């Protein structure tokens, strides 16, 4: 049985934010907000929402400039604006306590938001966050990969058109990406990609005062062993799991391994 409830728009932090809702309210468990990556509209994480919805009141957000959330030439696509969106969304939804699961860009947004110690934030799961930044090695993906695939999707393409960009994905995954990638505003993606290299998320880690769990891919070179050592030095309480068989898009590569990697961090196991 599906755990999907509805999709909705809400005015929060001064913009229209669109989200997908899964699961029922559980007074004994904190709600979960899922923040996807740089070119992942909320609907592409729907299969994850279905699993989370078995256990939690779950919201998957279209980050500004993606999916059905507000976009436009004059919109601020900075990390600070995205972090304020998360805090504003939680407040607008009336969530007294909530956990955040952020993947890639979504994890960086989570870190920046958590560093301000917003009311209600209970815990933070960081899924393969780019550790690039000022004076650090570049993020391993290239901007052209994102821009070229967005432009192809904007023209109209099918799963085969996306296969050159994501050769290991299934036909269903490719069809969904081909259908929705055009909703990713190129300006938003370029701004976020530039932010991967100009925003210092490591400086934010010392200010976080909630439990944090780091989940890293075994393949893809986003988080190396030395990166884990540094992160632990900045946030000694952090817990860590690596999903050995997966690349950066962990739930696409090893869905069950992804759920198992949370262990009981969120309050109950997702692989049970």
For 65-87, what is the mean pLDDT? 98
**Residue 262 reports pLDDT greater than 90:** yes
Q: Which of 189, 160, 190 is nearest to 40 (CA)?
A: 189
DSSP-derived secondary structure for 47-81 = HHHHHHTTTS-EEEE--TTSTTS---TTS--SHHH
Residue 82, pLDDT score: 98
pLDDT, residue 203, reads 97
pTM over 0.75: yes
Q: Are 83 and 113 in contact (CB under 8 A)?
A: yes
Q: Is residue 248 within 8 Å of 217, Cβ to Cβ?
A: yes
Q: How many CA atoms lie within 13 A of 231 on its CB side?
A: 23
57, 77 contact by CB (below 8 A): no
**Each residue of 88-131: pLDDT tens digit?**
999 999 999 999 999 999 999 999 999 999 999 999 999 999 99
Confidence at 246, pLDDT banded by 50, 70, 90:
very high
Q: Is 184 exposed, middle or buried (0-12, 13-18, 19+ CB in 10 A)?
A: buried
Report pLDDT for 86. 98
User: What is the mean pLDDT of the segment spanning 227-256?
Assistant: 97
162: pLDDT strictly greater than 90: yes
Q: How far apart are the first and last CA of the chain?
A: 16
Which residue in 162, 163, 155 sits closest to 178, CA to CA? 162
Structure token digits, residue 263: 């262990």
Average pLDDT, the chain: 97
The first and second tokens of residue 194, run together, are 């530039």
Domains of the chain: 4-136+199-261 (3.40.50.1820)
pLDDT reading at 272 higher than 80? no
How much of the chain, in percent, has pLDDT values that exceed 90?
99
Helix (H/G/I), strand (E/B), else coil: 100: strand
- Overall average pLDDT of the 22-43 stretch: 98
- What is the widest separation between alpha-carbon atoms in the chain? 49
Give the mean pLDDT of 160-167.
96
| 138 pLDDT tier (thresholds 50, 70, 90) | very high
Q: What is the pLDDT of residue 67?
A: 98
Residue entry with tokens 């993947």: 103
Q: Tell me: the pLDDT tens digits for 170-222?
A: 999 999 999 999 999 999 999 999 999 999 999 999 999 999 999 999 999 99
Q: Cα torsion for 252, 213, 116, 202, to the nearest 10°?
A: -80
pLDDT for 37-63, tens place per residue? 999 999 999 999 999 999 999 999 999
């Amino acid at each position: 049985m599906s755990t999907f409830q509805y999709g909705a728009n809400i005015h929060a932090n001064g913009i229209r934010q669109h989200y997908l809702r899964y699961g029922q309210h559980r007074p004994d468990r904190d709600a979960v907000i899922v923040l996807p990556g740089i070119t992942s509209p909320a609907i592409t994480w729907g299969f994850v929402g279905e699993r989370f919805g078995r256990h939690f009141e779950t919201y998957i957000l279209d980050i500004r400039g993606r999916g059905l959330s507000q976009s436009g030439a004059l919109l601020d696509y900075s990390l600070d604006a995205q972090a304020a969106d998360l805090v504003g969304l939680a407040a607008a939804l009336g969530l007294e306590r909530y956990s955040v699961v952020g993947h890639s860009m979504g994890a960086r947004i989570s870190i920046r938001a958590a560093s301000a110690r917003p009311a209600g934030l209970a815990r933070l799961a960081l899924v393969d966050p780019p550790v690039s930044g000022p004076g650090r090695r570049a993020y391993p993906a290239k901007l052209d990969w994102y821009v070229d695939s967005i432009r192809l999707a904007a023209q109209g393409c099918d799963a085969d058109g996306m296969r050159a960009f994501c050769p290991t994905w299934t036909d269903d995954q490719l069809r969904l990406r081909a259908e929705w990638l055009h909703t990713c505003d190129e300006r938003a993606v370029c701004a976020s990609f530039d932010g991967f290299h100009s925003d210092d998320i490591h400086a934010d880690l010392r200010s976080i005062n909630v439990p944090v769990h780091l989940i890293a891919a075994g393949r893809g070179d986003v988080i190396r062993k030395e990166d884990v050592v540094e992160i632990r030095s900045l946030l000694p309480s952090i817990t860590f799991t690596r999903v050995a068989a997966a690349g950066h898009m962990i739930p696409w590569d090893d869905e069950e391994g992804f759920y198992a990697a949370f262990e009981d961090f969120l309050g109950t196991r997702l692989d049970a």
